[in-house]
């Protein structure tokens, strides 16, 4: 098959080379963006008198026909035409004849592909931002229903201090808020137009890049043609933000796996989000959070892959850069899929309030509160810490929890203990007293939820 660049060649391309260099099997995902970019380019070419208005109109009509034929599955991509750009250009020429060959005036595939990638990421980042907001809404709903629900708080996965379940899940709300903000912020670097940079040095034609930026909705234009065609930092930024977000999703997933185990039984995932075992009839497996946890690996891999592809490249474009696509597509799909799954899974999970409440009464996680009690009576914290350690040891030996020790027993350790010690020991008291800003008391958690609600109302207004 003849190539769009065939003039300089005397031999056909080796079949294996065709297969190795072709990207059409994956970059066909950019078809819409490619046509969108071409429509803006040809409009500008016509307006600037670089091609005649009549030719511009023919090309525009031809591109629209190609688009609808592609949408209807009437056209077949060919490996011989290598990538999405040359496939579409060939479809256009097949459709409207040699005039279609004027589309590529003042343009190169190098600025074209960079433009497609910017457009693709712009659209998809906006969709992902919305999906994060949906997960946040699901978290918020669970939090609101569980302000007074107590759960053991852990450090080192050892019981530390009881907390409100709402407080625990709201921690993920704020992580996702920063994930969302990182993506919103990254749009500043995605919203820049590379088109008009040519192969690397600009073009001899009197093009109007501002007009193309306006037509495509870009806020800015790359001021350096070599930078524009050879950097992919906007994709790296997306992949970094995605990696951090998947790390958060993975930690939350890990908690859901642990919490839904028989040993914890803090939550139960809805049947529709679990799977069974082919051999053990009793099993209800948390495959969904397990897979979300695991998919984090491929997103990290995509980030590391592209960082490595780019690190040794001299300016400007190198074919190596064609390897920027699959990881980006895969990351978008992984994120979209994970976020879509997460929201309803959180929404539909059952919170076993009783089990959680029982758990917090059967531990020594109120020990800090007894130390704080002695401090309010004048004992230095370090001495109080030492003394409570001894009381915990004594209680473990007597097989009692701290709430079950008598006042006489407390007083054998210190005369500072009075009847009011029992007002700081129940989980409700322990949680309620952590009333510092950002703490777990219901009071503070309500404030936090209020702040989150104002926050999401504000980001809806911004859109």
Contact between 34 and ligand ARG by CB under 6 A: the answer reads no
Asked about 253 being catalytic, the answer comes back as: no
Residues 6+ apart with CB under 8 A from 90: 4, 78, 81
Report the nearest approach of ligand ARG to the CB of residue 318 (Å): 9
Residue 206's Cβ-count burial label (10 Å; 0-12, 13-18, 19+) is exposed
Q: How far apart are CA 147 and CA 449, in angstroms?
A: 10
Contact between 113 and ligand ARG by CB under 6 A: the answer reads yes
Q: Which of 256, 310 has the CB closer to ligand ARG?
A: 310
Q: Which is catalytic among the residues 25, 38, 277, 338?
A: 277
Q: Which of 23, 253 has the CB closer to ligand ARG?
A: 23
Counting Cα atoms < 13 Å in the Cβ hemisphere of 236 gives 12
Residue 428's Cβ-count burial label (10 Å; 0-12, 13-18, 19+) is middle
Report the nearest approach of ligand ARG to the CB of residue 153 (Å): 49
Report the nearest approach of ligand ARG to the CB of residue 230 (Å): 11
Report the nearest approach of ligand ARG to the CB of residue 84 (Å): 7
Q: Which of 16, 279 has the CB closer to ligand ARG?
A: 16
Q: Pattern of binders to ligand ARG over 54-93, x per CB under 6 A? A: -----------------------------x----------
- Burial of 318-355, coded b for 16+ CB within 10 Å and e otherwise, reads eeebbebbbbbbbbbebbeebbebbbbbbeebebbbee
With CB under 6 A as the contact rule, the residue among 203, 250, 302, 322 that binds ligand ARG is 322
Contact between 110 and ligand ARG by CB under 6 A: the answer reads yes
DSSP 314: P
Q: How far apart are CA 389 and CA 365, in angstroms?
A: 12
Cβ(303)–Cβ(236) below 8 Å: yes
Asked about 277 being catalytic, the answer comes back as: yes
Q: How far apart are CA 260 and CA 350, in angstroms?
A: 10
Report the nearest approach of ligand ARG to the CB of residue 353 (Å): 54
Report the nearest approach of ligand ARG to the CB of residue 79 (Å): 12
Strand-pair partners of 153: 161
Q: What 3-state class would DSSP assign to 31?
A: helix
Q: Which is catalytic among the residues 68, 156, 272, 278?
A: 156
Contact between 321 and ligand ARG by CB under 6 A: the answer reads yes
- Quick one: which segment of 108-116, 132-140, 409-417, 442-450 binds ligand ARG (CB under 6 A)? 108-116
289-318 residues near ligand ARG, rule: CB under 6 A: 317
Number of residues in the chain: 463
Which residues participate in catalysis according to the annotation? 156, 277
Residues that bind ligand ARG (CB under 6 A): 23, 27, 83, 109-110, 113, 317, 319, 321-322
């Amino acid at each position: 098959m003849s190539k769009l660049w065939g003039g300089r060649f005397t031999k056909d391309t080796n079949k294996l080379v065709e297969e190795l260099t072709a990207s059409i099997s994956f970059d066909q995902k950019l078809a819409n963006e490619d046509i969108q970019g071409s429509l803006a380019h040809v409009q500008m070419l016509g307006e600037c008198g670089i091609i005649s208005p009549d030719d511009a109109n023919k090309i525009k009509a031809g591109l629209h026909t190609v688009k609808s034929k592609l949408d209807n599955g009437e056209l077949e991509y060919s490996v011989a035409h290598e990538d999405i750009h040359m496939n579409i250009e060939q479809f256009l020429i097949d459709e409207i004849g040699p005039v279609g060959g004027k589309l590529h005036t003042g343009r190169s595939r190098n600025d074209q592909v960079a433009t497609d990638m910017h457009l693709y990421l712009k659209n998809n980042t906006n969709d992902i931002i919305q999906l994060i907001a949906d997960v946040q809404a699901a978290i918020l709903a669970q939090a609101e229903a569980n302000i007074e629900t107590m759960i053991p708080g852990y450090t080192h996965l050892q019981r530390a201090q009881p907390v409100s379940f709402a407080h625990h899940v709201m921690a993920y709300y704020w992580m996702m808020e920063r994930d969302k903000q990182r993506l919103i912020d990254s749009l500043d670097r995605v919203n820049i137009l590379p088109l008009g940079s040519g192969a690397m040095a600009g073009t001899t034609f009197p093009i109007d890049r501002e007009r193309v930026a306006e037509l495509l909705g870009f806020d800015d234009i790359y001021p350096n043609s070599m930078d524009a065609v050879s950097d992919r930092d906007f994709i790296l930024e997306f992949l970094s933000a995605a990696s951090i977000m998947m790390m958060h999703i993975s930690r939350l997933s890990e908690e859901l796996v642990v919490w839904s185990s028989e040993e914890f039984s803090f939550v139960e995932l809805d049947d529709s989000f679990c799977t069974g075992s082919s051999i053990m009839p009793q099993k209800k497996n948390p495959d969904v959070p397990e897979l979300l946890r695991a998919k984090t690996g491929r997103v990290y891999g995509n980030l590391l892959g592209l960082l490595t592809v780019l690190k040794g490249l001299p300016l400007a474009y190198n074919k190596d850069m064609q390897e920027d696509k699959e990881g980006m597509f895969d990351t978008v799909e992984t994120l979209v899929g994970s976020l879509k799954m997460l929201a309803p899974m959180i929404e539909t999970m059952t919170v076993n309030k009783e089990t959680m409440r029982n758990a917090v009464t059967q531990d020594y996680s109120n020990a800090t509160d007894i130390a704080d009690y002695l401090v309010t009576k004048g004992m230095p914290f370090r001495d109080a810490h030492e003394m409570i350690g001894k009381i915990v040891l004594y209680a473990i030996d007597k097989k009692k929890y701290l709430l079950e020790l008598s006042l006489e027993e407390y007083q054998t350790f210190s005369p500072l203990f009075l009847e009011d010690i029992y007002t700081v020991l129940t989980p409700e008291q322990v949680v309620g007293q952590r009333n510092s800003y950002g703490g777990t008391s219901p009071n503070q958690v309500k404030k936090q939820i209020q702040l989150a609600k104002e926050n999401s109302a504000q980001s809806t207004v911004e859109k």
